[in-house]
Structure 1
Amino acid sequence: MRLFVGFSPPRDARDELARALEPHRAAWPELRWPHSANWHVTLSFLGEVPPEVLPDLETRLARAASRYAPMTLSFIGAGAFPSPRRARVFWTGLDGPHPQLVRLARSLAAGAQRAGAVHTDRRQLRPHLTLARSRDEVDLSRLVEDFGPFAGTAWEAGAVHLVRSHLGAVVRYETIAAYPLKARAPGGQS
């Protein structure tokens, strides 16, 4: 099964982002815009994982997540991969405690590897949410500039989710499990 671990933004944050995007979508018909219900922030892409690995994987992911405190996050700005002029992916950034996000992503990936999951993406985390994709390179410089001022309302990420991707004509995501972030934040707050 094809798996990843990430945050599932709350509906309010997704709805706010969808409203902000609406005036831009019609001008970019060459982009594929996934439904907001499928939006997620990937922390660790695991790729194809054998089913027999799942019990140990779940234990290790739960343990890794439990070492981190809930995080206040918000969507902010815009960008494109690999670059605005030669884009295949249009995204909004994730504002929050960047060092903790990177450490959490590394911990999740390390736990997955110890469980026997093949972690295929070894790049350092660039926290973002993919808003649109293109099969061919597109110059999205104007879209990135126009959407760049976006700043969403803050929301709390209190858990990470293990998600299965069902590929096909319509991509579908299935949450397998949620693992609470439950360590105490600095200063004794949880």
Structure 2
Amino acid sequence: MYLLVATDTESVMRLFIAVPLPEVVSNRIARWAEALRTDVSFRKWVHPQDYHITLQFLGDTKTERVESVLTSLRRIADEQEAVQLRLQGAGVFGPASAPRILWAGISGELEKLGLLQQRVSSVMAPLGFTVEDRPYKPHITTARKYTGGNITADLVRTGPEPVSWKADRLVLFRTKMHSNPMYERLGSMEFKR
């Protein structure tokens, strides 16, 4: 499917490219996150409709560039096979005493996912989007900005109830600040069958 949502009169949009999650995966993460809220406090819990695996953050992008981004992503999707992934484990970015991010982990064909991420970065570079210089660490952000509670090794080790799925598309998302959910799909490109 190739979808382009009519954009409003804004000249700049904050964009990123990601692999979306099927509802069954989002539901497992949401149940896990809900159970955590009694013991752990974060300023921002991600809305279940916003769970995803980021491939590349594009940042503020002029509206007229969206079509060229979508065209490049379509070329990648047309040659990409589905990636077998599994929801497994959890972790934090930052110190356990004050983490910036709580995330749900993934396993499975991570090498294949890493190659997809590299392909996305390489086709975005000629369009003027910067490639991150840190190693790619796929994860699903669940909460941001820790404010207190008890983050234990068991919490990080356990994570949501595992489930497997096939990642079968790329999505170009637009961030709509102060909305909940806050990510809007501008384009969805299915992988080859």
Report the TM range for the smaller structure's normalisation: 0.7 to 0.9
> Is 2:173 the counterpart of 1:163?
yes
Q: Name the SS for the 2:130 alignment partner.
A: coil
Contact 1:85/1:139 (CA < 8 Å) preserved in 2? no
Aligned sequence identity (%): 26
Secondary structure of the equivalent of 2:137?
coil
Query: In 2, are the aligned partners of 1:17 and 1:152 still within 8 Å (CA)?
Result: no
Question: Closer, same or farther in 2 for the Cα pair 1:180/1:79, shift >3 Å?
Answer: same
Match of 1:174 among 174, 180, 184: 184
Alignment partner of 1:81 is 2:78 = no
Normalising by structure 2, report the TM-score.
Answer: 0.83
**Kept in 2: contact 1:86–1:139 (CA 8 A):** no
Residues in 1 aligned to 2:99 and 2:149: alpha-carbon distance in whole angstroms: 6
Aligned partner of 2:45 in structure 1 is: 33
RMSD (Å), alpha carbons: 2.2
Please give the per-residue CA displacement for 1:143-165, whole angstroms capped at 9, x wherever unaligned: x5224223421111110100011
Q: Which of 142, 154, 161 pairs up with 1:145?
A: 154
Counterparts of 1:75-154 in structure 2 under 5 Å?
A: 75-116=87-128, 118-119=129-130, 121-134=132-145, 141-142=151-152, 144-150=153-159, 151-154=161-164
Distance 1:25 1:90 in 2: 12
Return the offset for 1:122.
3.3
Query: In structure 2, do the counterparts of structure 1 residues 122 and 167 end up closer, same or farther at CA, with 3 Å as the change threshold?
Result: farther
1:22 has 2:31 as partner = no
Secondary structure at 1:69 match in 2:
coil
Aligned residues between the structures? 180
> More deviation in 121-130 or 23-32?
23-32
Counting only pairs closer than 5 Å after superposition, residues 29-68 of structure 1 correspond to structure 2 as: 29-68=41-80
Mapped contact 1:90–1:132 kept (Cα < 8 A): yes
Structure 1 residue runs without a partner (length 5+): 183-189
- Note the residue ranges of structure 2 that are not aligned, 5 or more in a row: 1-12
| One-letter amino acid matched to 2:111 | P
Higher strand share: 2
Contact 1:87 1:140 in 2 (8 A): no
Give the Cα separation in 1 of the matches to 2:27 and 2:99: 25
Q: Which amino acid aligns with 2:134?
A: R
